[in-house]
Amino acid sequence: MKHTFKKRDLFWSEASVLVQAAVSRWRLNSHARNYLIHNAELWGKVCHCVRLENTSRHEWMVQNGQFNDTCSFEECDPSGDRKDAGYLYDDIFIIRLEQIIFGHAFEIAKARAKEKWPDKKRWPEILEVGRHLRNGAFHNNKFIFKAKEPRGNPSWRSLHITKDLEGQSVFGHAHGVISLGDVPVLMADMMKELS
């Protein structure tokens, strides 16, 4: 499945910054740069892999301080050994990037949801998942639940938010429940619910 963020879309700036920052970070390491340019894959924990389109164009844009008008990601099967690039995703910069980008995207989604569904109990399940991920993102990257949380059993694809996650890492390829490749897909799925 392909997910495209256009300049006028709800999370275009978050998707664009995610790509630009990851490309900028990985350009510093020749192995990472090679991997990103040739494979163009961002791996996730929920979505196994998303392929970033036009990586050489993104790299050129980063070098020249410009942004693309669109960011496209296509869900796919990973082409290489996940261990080869695992270190790319557990870089503290990348984990913090995931936290900031998703946290910001959720705050935008929350404002839109309040307009569309004033009663929180009517919010789509994906927003309840997003709320717990956002809370973890802004609380030392750990799941923290209040009494009687999580409400129901909120799920997004294969990710189920349960009380058992208390204290576990939210973002990060090795220890988190969600990783870099999941973030644009989760944002795209939230965008569909909010449109």
Tokens of 40: 């163009």
In which band, very low, low, confident or very high, does the pLDDT at 92 lie, cut at 50, 70 and 90? Answer: confident
Q: Is the predicted pLDDT of residue 97 greater than 60, yes or no? A: yes
Q: Is the predicted pLDDT of residue 85 greater than 60, yes or no? A: no
Q: Is the predicted pLDDT of residue 65 greater than 90, yes or no? A: no
Instruction: Give the global pTM.
Output: 0.85
- pLDDT at res. 40: 66
Q: Is the predicted pLDDT of residue 192 greater than 60, yes or no? A: yes
Other Cβ atoms less than 10 A from the Cβ of 120: the count is 13
Q: Is the predicted pLDDT of residue 116 greater than 60, yes or no? A: yes
Of the ranges 5-9, 74-78, 141-145, 148-152, which is most confident?
141-145
d(CA 42, CA 177): 15
pLDDT in tens, 130-162: 999 999 999 999 999 999 999 888 999 999 999
Please state the separation of Cα 184 from the chain's center in Å.
5
For the chain, give every domain's residue range. 2-88, 92-194
The region of weakest confidence among 10-14, 56-60, 122-126 is 56-60
Element housing 141 (H / E): none
CA-based radius of gyration for the chain: 16
Element housing 177 (H / E): none
3-state DSSP of 23-75: HHHHHCCHHHHHHHHHHCEEECCCCCEEEECCHHHHHHHHHCCCCCCEEEEEE
How much of the chain, in percent, has pLDDT values that exceed 70?
A: 76
pLDDT in tens, 20-62: 777 666 666 666 666 565 566 777 889 877 877 665 555 555 5
- Yes or no: say if 44 and 50 are a contact pair by the CB < 8 Å rule: yes
d(CA 20, CA 18): 6
Amino acid letter, 163: K
Q: Where are the alpha helices (DSSP H) in 40-160?
A: 55-63, 82-89, 92-116, 125-137
Mean pLDDT of the chain: 82
d(CA 89, CA 94): 6
Amino acid letter, 30: S
